[in-house]
Amino acid sequence: MTEDVLTFVERGVGRIRLNRPKAIHALTTRMCEAMSDALLRWRTDSNVEVVLIDHAEGRGFCAGGDVVMLARSGSEDATEAKGFFFAEYRLNHLLFTYDKPTIAIMDGITMGGGVGISLPCTYRVATENTRLAMPETSIGLFPDVGGGWYLSRLPARVGQFMVLTGARLDGAECRYLNLATHYVEQSGLEELIERIMKAPGRAQGALGAASTPPPPAKIEESLGQTSRLFASDRLEEVIAALEQEDGPWAESTLATMRTKSPLSCKVSLRLLAEGAVREAFADEMRAEYALAGRVVRTHDFREGVRAVLIDKTGEPQWDPARPEGVTDEMLDVLFAPLPPSEQWMPFPAAETVA
Ligand code: QUE
């Protein structure tokens, strides 16, 4: 059987290669655990100077997670879903706190779980094929894997715009927003990786040498609108601002937003508001874990996965159907902390590992 993720050391480089091409390398629990096992070993392996994460055969970097499993588990007792989130968020946090340089090659589709293993890396390479998005409000989920942390720190309320619309950013836009640290044309990736393996101590120089100026970032033209129209943390106020705005941008943005789960949209806005003021990334992941275990049990997540990914009818019937139906009390229940015995915990820090 072929492995869903390949982990090996090659000439001073810890290589992590996603290898589940049939699912655009979407993450499973086993894949997350295998990546964390390798990263934990490499922390103390003096042969490993730098870690490089990319995908093996097939298109796309990583489409997200195994959401069909999550929806099935959420309709049962959610044990398997919670196991996945626990492992995935530990991996996200391990990368965020890793003390060797890490490089993610975000070539092609980079969504959800793929964003979660890219953004914590030291160096994040975008190409002309990069399509980065946090599209979870389309399926009744929310922008997890640290979304509340990263997206709330973007300028001009772009994070709020991204989660409420599912907008896909291209490589130039990722570079412009500093979601990517480098822009490298896809045709230059092979040589870049070869150069990193020739001199892993000089990875930064190799990245700089491989980079080319990105084309203009289209999102720059919309920043006036995103900062003004997505200024509120209240969904009804964002919708009202878009309704009062003339022009095709506001009209198409509003039409897209109306297809998303109102519950997910409100959960997402609150997560970003809370994430903006958190002091530690571990606090973000602890809060997201409590939230994720509850959101997978909602009607909207089951319905979203069914309509968008299983039956592909594209017309999910959300409940509540309208933003006004989603009350603060509903959100309070979803956001409540877990009792200590059930809480998410990061891996122990490196210093305490023998
Ligand atoms: C919104 C999402 C996801 C999505 C589509 C959305 C998501 C996700 C996948 C996905 C795609 C292909 C696969 C797979 C999962 O699609 O999170 O296993 O093969 O993981 O509109 O949030």
Set out the domains of the chain in order of their start, with CATH numbers. 5-350 (3.90.226.10)
Contact assessment for residue 61 and residue 55, using Cβ atoms and an 8 Å cutoff: yes
Site to probe by mutation for ligand 1, drawn from 139, 142, 151, 168 as the one with most ligand atoms within 8 Å of Cβ, is: 139
Contact assessment for residue 86 and residue 36, using Cβ atoms and an 8 Å cutoff: no
136 pocket-lining for ligand 1 (C-beta < 6 Å): yes
Contact assessment for residue 120 and residue 95, using Cβ atoms and an 8 Å cutoff: yes
- Kindly give the distance from the C-alpha atom of residue 312 to the centroid of ligand 1, in angstroms, as a whole number: 12
The Cβ of residue 327 has, within 10 Å, a number of other Cβ atoms equal to 11
- What token pair was written down for 197? 């393996």
Site to probe by mutation for ligand 1, drawn from 309, 310, 312, 318 as the one with most ligand atoms within 8 Å of Cβ, is: 309
pTM, 2 dp: 0.97
User: How confident is the model over 108-166, as pLDDT tens digits?
Assistant: 999 999 999 999 999 999 999 999 999 999 999 999 999 999 999 999 999 999 999 99
User: How confident is the model over 189-212, as pLDDT tens digits?
Assistant: 999 999 999 999 999 999 999 999
Query: CA neighbours within 13 Å on the CB side: how many for 242?
Result: 24
N- to C-terminal Cα distance for the chain? 34
User: How confident is the model over 292-330, as pLDDT tens digits?
Assistant: 999 999 999 999 999 999 999 889 999 999 999 999 999
The atom of ligand 1 lying closest to the CA of 308 is: 21
Contact assessment for residue 54 and residue 61, using Cβ atoms and an 8 Å cutoff: yes
The Cβ of residue 154 has, within 10 Å, a number of other Cβ atoms equal to 17
26 pocket-lining for ligand 1 (C-beta < 6 Å): yes
Active site residues: 65, 113, 136, 144
DSSP state of 301: H
- Kindly give the distance from the C-alpha atom of residue 65 to the centroid of ligand 1, in angstroms, as a whole number: 7
The atom of ligand 1 lying closest to the CA of 134 is: 22
